[in-house]
Amino acid sequence: MRLLHTMIRVGDLKRSIAFYTEVLGMSLLRQKDYPTGRFTNVFVGYDDESKTAVLELTHNWDTSHYELGNGYGHIAIAVEDIVKTCDDIRQRGGKITREPGPMKHGSTMIAFAEDPDGYKIEFVQR
């Protein structure tokens, strides 16, 4: 078995694609409209879906905003240089919500950003 993707619902598809591709540097892997269901699925990631898990952005055409609820945590991305990653995200217009530093009760270096819909993205220094 292998993890394929994680799906999140987004309110503004163009804005979300721009964030994940231009700010976080993912590639747009594929996109498909489903007119009878009135939704679009977009897959983004750092490598081909045959090699790694990716992120599915689902845009329901008639919904512009979602409540995130309290069960959702975050998406985690491994990075080589957490300080540079956060600086690059800021320069590209992204929002860092937790500056790089050790995690609470541990020594792993982490930071957090937020996407345009409010989803949290954790960066973990590798």
Annotated active-site positions, please? 122
Neighbouring-strand partners of residue 112: 98, 122
Task: Give which of 123, 117, 124 is closest to 8, Cα–Cα.
Answer: 117
Report the 3 state secondary structure along 43-101.
EEECCCCCCCCEEEEEEECCCCCCCCCCCCCCEEEEECCHHHHHHHHHHCCCEEEEEEE
